[in-house]
Structure formats: C-alpha cells, structure tokens
Amino acid sequence: MRWNAVNPGMARAVARPGAVMLREDVLRAHDRRSVAQARAARRRLRLLWMLVGPGVLVMLGENDGPSMVSYATTGATYGIGFFVPFILLTFVMAFVVQEMTVRLGAATHRGHAELIFQRFGPFWGYFAMADLVFGNLLTLVTEFIAIQAGGLYFGVPAWVSVGFGIAAVCASLIFRRYATWERTAMALAVFNLLFVPAALFAHPNGTALAHALLTWGPLPGGVGTGFVTLLLANIGATVTPWMIFFQQSAVVDKGLTRADIPQGRIDTAIGAVVAAIAAIATLVAAAPLFAAHIDVSSFASGADFATALRPLLGTAGATLFALGIIEAGVVAAMTISTSSSYALAETLRTHHSLNLDFAQGRLFYSAAIVSAVIAGAIVLIPGAPLLALTLTVNVIATLLMAPALLFLLLLVNDREIMGDLANTWRANLAGGTITAGIALVGVAYGVITVFPGLLGK
C-alpha cells in the first residue's frame, strides 16, 4: 500500500478494488489543482483561505451545546477566576492533539477509523468505532437539547426546534460537495462569537479578568466533588474523541498533502483561538449569576440560563446567549453526525466522502441522517433530565478520551506510515502529558463517585 502519495485523489482510487475513479476523486483533484496554482503563484493568503476549514470547524464544532452549557455552569458556579485560564489551557491541549491529527491525515490519506482498522486489526477497529459512535450519539442528543433549549427561550415548541435541527443536518448533506459543505458550516460557525457581545452586556471587570488570567484567580468553595465534575466537563468541552476522527477524515476528504501541513497547523490554531474566545465569553456572560447567588443546579436546560440572565444582561444580552446556544447545537450536529458517518463507512470499507453522489454514498449519508433522527427523538422524551445529561456527556467524553489519545499516539509514532512526519520527542512529551493528565482526572472522578463524601460538595 502506498501511504505517501502525491495526488490523494488518485491514491484513494488506486487503493480501492478495481481502481475506479469516482466523483469524489474528480472533485478532489479539481480542488488540488487550484491549490497547486495558488502555491505556484505564491499567493499565500489565497492558499491559506483555500486550505483552512477542518481545524476551524473541529474547534468551533466542539464549542457545542453541552460545551457552552458547561462553560455557563462554570461561570455561574465559580465566577471569573480559576476556570478562565484553565479553559485557555484546555484549548492548548486541543491544539496539540489536533495538530497530530493533521499530520496523520496528510501523511497517510486515510481516515482515523480506517487507519486503526488497518494497523491494529478488526477487533480494535470495531472497538474504536463503537466507542466513537456511542459517544457521538450521546453528544448528538445534547446538541438537540441545546437547539430545543434555545427555541424554548423564544417560545418555539420543542418538536419544531428539534425538527429544525434534523432538517439542518439533512440539508447540509444535499450539496454532495465537500468544499460547499465546509464553507456553509464555517459561515454558521462564525455565529459562535455571539457569546462575545453577550459577555459585554455583563459589563465584566477587566482588571478581575486580567488578574484571573495571570494568577489563575480564586476558587470559591475550594476543591470538592462539584469542582472535579466541572473540571472534567470543561476538558470534555474542548478535547473529545470525535474531534480526532472528524478532522483526520476532513483533512483526507479535503485532499491535504504533506506540503499543506503548515496551513493545516494555522487552520487549527485559528480555530483554537476563536473557540477559546467564545468559550471564555460564555463563562463571563454567565458570571453575573454567580454574583447574584443564583443556584443553577435546578436548571432544566440551557433555556433557563438565558431566562435567568435576562434581568442581569438585559433582553439583548439574553437573546444573544439563546441564539448562541442554538448555533452551537446546529453546527455541532452537522460536524458530529458527519464524524460518525466517516468512521462507520471507513470501518466497513465503503465509500466515505462528502463529494459522493447519494447512490455511491448511501451508507455514508444515511448514517448521519439516522443518527440525527435518533438523537432528536430521544430529546423529545417527556421528563428527561436535560441539564444533567448535558453535563454528564462532557464528563463521559473526557473518560473516553484517554484510549482515543493512546491510539493517536501509537499511530503518529508509526514511522512506517508517518516517515519523517512522525512525532518528535517534544510532541510525544506534550501528547503523553495530556493523556496522563486526562487519565488522572478520570481516575479522580471515579474515586469521588465511589466515595462521594471524600471531598465534600
């Protein structure tokens, strides 16, 4: 098998039985020609614009419904302090992880699920896929919770909001063109920054914010069970398994090569910076609830945050917050459902690309649609504990992250497929530290779950 191919479109065609050129190969080759022309003409900004996408989408896609609710819960529980710099740290962690993913995709022209299956065998391939699909389905449920919550703030019935979310996922697939899908999702993802003006309506204390960033700020109430739970929720709001699978497959679908890795890194860095700004803004926007001593543990959904913030931020600020929650759910539903489609199709060795015709990509497109429908239906179950489920999903994502990172580290250190793009000792130190840290926090959560009185509330 040829791993370091010059033309990824041709390489993928040759790797398939019968070497049949599909629509996806033709479209990808067309995109690569445009990239080559921009590089030859040394039009650096145009080249960067053509190559950005997977990194921005994976970071802003992870600023999803449960993530923004986690940040809001953190701000309402602890105010502006310890968690502001901690959120920045989690996005640095996310960049380290996703940079390895970019290199892996560009070096091998294989999706993550496909690589695990090929390098570690069917057992681990199916294990990784099952792990991802399970986590993605739970996360998709919370995206529809977010969409429903935002709609409830505006008086929209739950079934209408959920139906809108499902329709958005389905509509994003009709383009049959990766480039169009990507740009549409990026245009929607920009609205993640709605949380920034919402935070300005909270009139944050700039000195307190700077002090928190420089000193890690105070931690009201000390270290307790609630603190550890939110610690995991904030990690799970930034670093999750679906991100690895999605970005690597998107890098392959986009056709990035070894020459494109510098732009892939910039793409990922831009996404991390913008997403971190929106995340911190969400915490800041919800911090007035902490100052007002409002207990958010009784909130049923994200809609309660917007409603509770209305007297504190004003109607405009609360409206921006609610709209941001809807955007977070919609964009994440699009990216996470696509992540599941990539992984399932790769594992089953069938066609997997957003450039496919519906006939050729029947399984690929069906997986995204079916997962969205199932998740939406679960949300409409009467009496479901929506806020608790939202926070729990981020915790579960953190617990599932350690094995996902282990697979990633093994693959990026495999010189047979990576060549000179394999991890350096510095990259391994950073990746290993992140893996160990996430595993230790997971162990701590397990301990306090078994012994709930160990740390107090």
Place domain 52-450 in its CATH homologous superfamily.
Amino acid/polyamine transporter I (1.20.1740.10)
pLDDT tens, residue by residue, 253-276: 888 899 999 999 999 999 999 999
**Per-residue pLDDT band at 393 (split at 50, 70, 90):** confident
Question: Over 70: is that where the pLDDT of 8 sits?
Answer: no
Q: How many CB atoms lie within 10 A of CB 32?
A: 20
Pick the closest to residue 347 from 364, 332, 335, 359 (CA basis): 364
Q: What pLDDT is attached to residue 29? A: 76
Question: Over 90: is that where the pLDDT of 88 sits?
Answer: yes
CA triple 288-291-297, angle to 5 deg: 80
pLDDT tens, residue by residue, 213-243: 888 877 776 666 778 888 888 887 888 888 9
Pick the closest to residue 398 from 58, 38, 23, 66 (CA basis): 66
SS3 380: coil
Can you give the pTM of this predicted structure? 0.87
Q: What is the mean pLDDT of residues 290-310?
A: 80
pLDDT tens, residue by residue, 318-340: 999 999 999 999 999 999 999 98
Q: What span, in angstroms and rounded, lies between the C-alpha atoms of 254 and 248?
A: 10
Instruction: Map tokens 């995204």 to a residue.
Output: 368
Please give the DSSP secondary-structure letter assigned to residue 52: -
Please give the DSSP secondary-structure letter assigned to residue 203: -
**Per-residue pLDDT band at 390 (split at 50, 70, 90):** low
Torsion of Cα atoms, 412 then 443 then 329 then 384, to 10° = 150
Q: What span, in angstroms and rounded, lies between the C-alpha atoms of 330 and 146?
A: 9
Q: What span, in angstroms and rounded, lies between the C-alpha atoms of 211 and 366?
A: 50
Question: Over 60: is that where the pLDDT of 362 sits?
Answer: yes
Check residues 456 and 214 and name the one with the higher pLDDT: 214
